[in-house]
Amino acid sequence: MSTSAQFSRRHFLRTASVAGTSLIVSPSLSAGGFYRGKPNDKVVVAIMGTNSRGAFLAKHFARIPNTEVAYICDVDERVLTKTCASLETQTGRKPKGFTDIRKLLDQKDFDALVVAAPDHWHAPATILGCQAGKHVYVEKPCSHNPHEGEMAVEAARKYNRLVQMGSQRRSFSNVQDAVKKLHEGVIGRVYFARGWYTNWRPSIGKGKEVAVPAHLHYDLWQGPAPHRPYRDNLIHYNWHWLWHWGTGEALNNGTHELDVMRWGLGVDYPSQVVSSGGRFAFNDDWETPDTQTITFTFPNNTAMTWEGRSCNGYDSEGSGRGVVFYGEKGTLVYPGANSYSIYDQKNKLVKTVTDSTPYDATNTVSPLEQLDALHLQNFVQTIRGDASLQAPIAEGHKSTLLPQLGNIAYRVGRVLHCDPTNGHILNDKEAMKLWSRDYSKDWAVRV
């Protein structure tokens, strides 16, 4: 595995890391917390996992001026070939393809790793990327379990890397404005937030053990997760609903709303978590809840709740996803795109802020494509020294931990009491067993 000591001077200069609100002390960091590299340098990117979201990321990173997608890594050779061909058509230059992330990370001539592989790969790939001296953009959730999130934060600090989580709403101008107004007291003290996500997902059926398709490197797909036999209803998407590889709707989509709620309330870790729900819609292999509520209580006398409905798409507040903030003097409604409305105590509309950016609710990869691209630009601009990360890994971990705690509370069937300084579960050995996981002997995950 390559280390930062083996890099060229150009790569060595890129040694800034922004983690949460604290900064690593480094000669390459200014007092303002911005990375001071060479703004005109080309940023060279590698993308891991391009069947769906990763293909979107590859396309949009390639659109950023003076940014090159030089490498693609995917365990499905059909997907790998398709993505490389698509980028060659788009840019005139064909990326080099890999199926093994370890061989990709041996390449010295790229700056950043983009991780869009399945959830069980997010933190391990982030850690490997940091160890190889790469900055990392990791899709949400940043980890499969809480301990991995802590390790990802530690890796960013230890190896002095920029790590951004794909909480793209942090880069939406009107969402930033809404949160700023909340913190300024536009509806008084904000004490409660409610978020939701709805969808119409079909049954995944009952899978059968079959031979692995010739084009799929299933052993590399499983990677750090203890290996299990291949089933015909697992790849490329239904792994989301199986605890061994996935994290359920709470992390697949709820992470976005929970991040906005945590941001708006100005809270970090909860003191209490409770969750209920179940797999109600179908009798199939789906393990995670298709219907779930999670409620969090925080030590500053605030609370928030999230509701997920994977198999019933009926809107709430006129939207399939969104957040409402409740305060002493009124209410702020964020319907999930880049607009918001403020109401007074008598529910009279005070202000509406809208955005004309196209919103396509039927686009399952990126309904807010143009806005999502801003988050990628922020990552590249930070590498160049022109910005600071909107969603650094320390903040991403906190927002990922919330639905992870919700899932743990759901699985053990009781209230969790947590240490509000770090989110650790108190006095519950059974629940703490779900704080981490076992790994494949060939993929030891350590910082």
4 confidence band (pLDDT: 50, 70, 90): very low
CATH (domain of 313): 3.30.360.10
pTM here is 0.90
Q: Does 260 lie in the same domain as 144?
A: no
* 117 and 177 together in one domain: no
| Residue in this structure with the two tokens 């980028």, named with its chain if needed | 87
Is 152 among the domain residues? yes
Q: Which residues pair with 302 in a beta bridge?
A: 298
Residue 36 has pLDDT above 70, yes or no: no
Buried b (16+ CB within 10 A) or exposed e, 403-437: bbbbbbbbbbeeebbbebeebebeebeebbebbeb
The structure tokens listed for 323 are: 């957040």
> Taking a C-beta distance cutoff of 8 angstroms, is the pair 155, 161 a contact?
yes
> 262 and 410: one domain?
yes
pLDDT on residue 421: 98
3-state secondary structure of 349: strand
Residue 304 has pLDDT above 70, yes or no: yes
- pLDDT tens-digit map of 193-231: 999 999 999 999 999 999 999 999 999 999 999 999 999
As a whole number, mean pLDDT of residues 395-410 equals 98
Does residue 210 lie in a domain region? no
- 207: three-class secondary structure by DSSP: coil
Whether residue 443 lies inside any domain: the answer is no
What is d(CA 303, CA 192) in angstroms, rounded to the nearest whole number?
Answer: 5
Residue 25, pLDDT score: 27
Task: Please check whether residues 289 and 340 belong to one and the same domain.
Answer: yes
Q: Is 192 helix (H, G, I), strand (E, B) or coil?
A: strand
Is residue 199 within 8 A of residue 310, CB to CB? The reply is: yes
| Pair 127, 447: CB distance under 8 Å | yes
User: The domain spanning residue 161 has which CATH number?
Assistant: 3.40.50.720
The answer to the question of residue 235 being in a domain is yes
pLDDT, position 442: 87
Query: In this structure, are 158 and 294 located in the same domain?
Result: no
Q: Domain limits at 36?
A: 4-169
Omega into 141 within 30° of 0, i.e. cis?
yes
Total domains, the chain: 2
Average pLDDT, whole number, for the chain? 91
Looking at residue 362, what is its pLDDT?
A: 58
Of the candidates 401, 418, 394, the one whose C-alpha atom is nearest the C-alpha of residue 20 is 394
For residues 281 and 291, is the Cβ–Cβ distance under 8 A? yes
Structural contact between residues 56 and 365, judged by C-beta atoms closer than 8 angstroms? yes
pLDDT band, residue 32 (cuts 50/70/90): very low
- Asked if residue 445 belongs to a domain, the reply is no
For residue 19, the model assigns a pLDDT of 33
